[in-house]
Structure 1
């Protein structure tokens, strides 16, 4: 049960305006402007697929992630949606509902994940990293002034390496649609099919 739960939960943690992204990216935006846009983007959702690769296993799940300020709801689904795991953070409390419907509560999101899976996942930073915002990380930019890769994490854990590809413009904001996270022998590959952002005011 624990191993099955692990492989379903991992993808999720890592991994608006429902409109199709435009691949024609503006070339005159500076990184300062783009990062300011990403910092101000606090309410969004995404859907897509997440591949999980270890030396002995390869798995793929559907992922839905809704971010509302500091709160979030992440749903991971496999087996045509017949099995799913929900991670919900509201205020200081996180609740994880596993595949058997059991509810697990904590005020420490990362510790709860570690207790249930045996892995430390950087959910605090992923809320920024998945947008292409290199919070608490060293990074490099591509020729369009977008983050192409970063290296970051807490001082107490092994650093995460992330590579980004396939940026597209969604509601005037450049967002990655493909990214890969690597730490040790664990590799997480996100393929985001759609971002949903609030309309520009």
Structure 2
């Protein structure tokens, strides 16, 4: 019996290693777009640290969501971020409700409609999906919008020939960074336009202004 137990443990360990190697191989076999590399620039670690510390900000812009058979867009009147807490004031056709307010943090969201109705959930993406039928990965989006992978979930980064982050693959989404700007003094460039795609579902963000809301030094 003891020999069987050792053999079972050995077989199980071998199977786990084989599965992990298979998963890694399948990720690596997926080719990157031409001109991109997984090799980060020399200053990537420093840039990551500075962007991670940039956690008090406000931006304005536009949001477009597309899924099979339906397109919608919204004006981001205000997206305020304080550490992991966010508040979004949106208007136009987003959610099919006109003006809409989202407030939350990882693992919690509250959605307020123009008529004063309020809905809360411990599943942010689930609540948005229930209200709209759309996938909007709001918890990850607060990281992707800064040009960083989200802390939860495996990811794969790709950089262009100038050393800028060009693509993040995470949580089944492919995020492509299409334009960068110097929005905030003494901070790295920030995304001005990005597109997140998951199959036939697409989320596009265009940032028109971005400001700090704290007094911290870089």
TM-score by length of 1: 0.73
The alpha carbon displacement at 1:151 in A equals 0.8
**1:147 alignment partner in structure 2:** 165
Q: Which residue number corresponds to residue 192 of structure 1?
A: 207
Contact 2:59 2:210 (C-alpha < 8 Å) held by counterparts: yes
Q: Are 1:131 and 2:149 an aligned pair?
A: no
Greater RCO (CA < 8 Å, at least 6 residues apart): 1
Q: Given the superposition, is the C-alpha separation of residues 180 and 69 from structure 1 closer, same or farther in structure 2, using an over 3 Å criterion?
A: same
- 2-side partners of 1:177 and 1:119: how far apart? 23
> In structure 1, how many angstroms separate the alpha carbons of the residues matched to 2:75 and 2:161?
31
Q: Counterparts in 2 of 1:7-18, with a 5 A limit?
A: none
The one-character-per-residue Cα deviations of 1:7-51 (angstroms, maximum 9, x if unpaired) are xxxxxxxxxxxxxxxxxxxxx971111111111111112111112
CA distance in 2, matches of 1:143, 1:114: 37
1:72–1:89 Cα contact (<8 Å) kept: yes
C-alpha distance after superposition, 1:64-112 (max 9, x if no partner): 3111111110121117xx9311011169753211233211122332332
Per the alignment, in what secondary structure is the counterpart of residue 83 of structure 1? coil
Partner of 1:68: 82
**Kept after mapping to 1: 8 A contact 2:67/2:134:** no
- The question of 1:57 aligning with 2:70 is answered yes
Q: How does 1:1-201 map to 2 (within 5 A)?
A: 30-63=43-76, 64-78=78-92, 83-89=98-104, 93-135=108-150, 136=153, 137-153=155-171, 159-169=172-182, 170-173=184-187, 174-197=189-212, 198-199=214-215, 201=217
CA-based RMSD of the aligned residues comes to 2.4
Could you say if the C-alpha distance between residues 52 and 145 of structure 1 is closer, same or farther in structure 2, counting changes exceeding 3 Å? same
What residue in structure 2 maps to residue 12 of structure 1?
none
Q: TM-score, normalised by structure 2?
A: 0.68
The question of whether the paired residues in 1 share the 8 Å contact of 2:105 and 2:139 is answered with: no
Report which of the two structures shows the higher radius of gyration computed on alpha carbons: 2
- Relative to structure 1, the CA distance from residue 42 to residue 163 in structure 2 (aligned partners, 3 Å threshold; closer, same or farther) is same
Contact 1:162 1:179 in 2 (8 A): yes
**Greater helix fraction, Structure 1 or Structure 2:** 2
Contact 1:48-1:62 at 8 Å conserved across structures: yes
